[in-house]
Structure 1
């Protein structure tokens, strides 16, 4: 299996992103009895799939200086969906590639939050919010370290936690930052952030991608 920015793929198989397609409609009753209703397709629960459309809306309405971090969140949700489907055939080689991608794309995101946003929030007395974010980061780092060894259970845990963490930051952390932090703090975040959609595109992919 190979892992790359365009998605995860098993050797000799169609891209796993094909599995994201909307499921087909349930079959109709044949013959259709008078008064019988057409079966409706099942829909995933709210917790089953990340709400990428909602996040795109949030990015548009986010403070401009946080657009880069919110764009990272969109990429993280796409990654989480890919990983959920890759877990069944996860290998150590996949895990090592994912760990490299984590270091390249997610660790810089964490670093901006931990060095700029969180100290500023702690200074305003928002320690509970800060500790929640730090605990999430620690859990994600632990899961990625285990997933890098080929541990599929840790991979599933990472994907689920990443989705939950992104939602928490978009619903709780970033609104608090917009309301409470000085403009200079947000300007520093913008200075350190990539342009929206740019973190994964600033470097050429390594040979194994």
Structure 2
């Protein structure tokens, strides 16, 4: 799906989020030690996802207060709560729940929320969003050294 150029930076991040979910599932399937998967999830949160959430909340949320943004905010809260649980546990159920929730969240944003924003926001607002993101967004890199999923 062609994404509006002003929000494409956030859309590109989603590739790494889906990859994160896949890696976690692969690690679980291969019965990788829980501490390794936990360490990766916390790394991904601190180095990628936490900032991505802030960017969405600070740059996109102010323009539309509707059921879509309320759902996104609720899912962000659920994921943050799950991160707190993961920080204190190596329970594989938490890892699996995180992978599932993250994937569902990304798919909703890509298939529903972003198209909704593109439809509802005018070109000037989308351009303003693009400018803000270009100043604060940093490019994602997938350089985690412990390839536990292989």
* Superposition TM-score, scaled by structure 1 size: 0.60
Residues 207, 85 of structure 1: alpha-carbon distance in 2 compared, 3 angstrom cutoff: closer
Looking at CA atoms only, which structure, 1 or 2, has the larger radius of gyration?
A: 1
SS where residue 63 of structure 1 aligns?
A: coil
Aligned pairs for 1:128-139 (under 5 A) are 128-139=67-78
- Judged with a 3 Å threshold, the aligned counterparts in structure 2 of structure 1 residues 132 and 189 are, in CA distance, closer, same or farther, namely same
Q: Within 2, Cα distance between the matches of 1:162 and 1:207?
A: 22
Aligned residues: 141
Cα deviation 1:24-56 (Å, max 9, x = unaligned): xxxxxxxxxxxxxxxxxxxxxxxxxxxxxxxxx
Query: Which ranges of structure 1 fall in alignment gaps of 5 or more residues?
Result: 1-57
Give the superposition deviation at 1:129: 1.3
Residues 53-88 of structure 1 deviation map (CA, whole Å, 9 limit, x = unaligned)? xxxxx2xx1101111111111111111111012123
Q: In 2 relative to 1, CA 120–154 (structure 1 residues): closer, same or farther, beyond 3 Å?
A: same
CA RMSD, Structure 1 to Structure 2 (Å): 2.4
Question: How many angstroms apart in 1 are the aligned matches of 2:91 and 2:127?
Answer: 39
Q: Which runs of 5+ in 2 are unaligned?
A: none
Q: Which secondary structure does the structure 2 equivalent of 1:64 belong to?
A: coil
Higher relative contact order (CA 8 A, sep 6+): 2
Q: Could you tell me whether the CA contact under 8 Å between 2:27 and 2:37 is conserved in 1? A: no
Match of 2:58 among 112, 115, 120: 115
Q: Which structure is higher in helix share?
A: 2
Equivalent residue in structure 1 for 2:96, among 147, 153, 156: 156
Partner of 2:5: 64
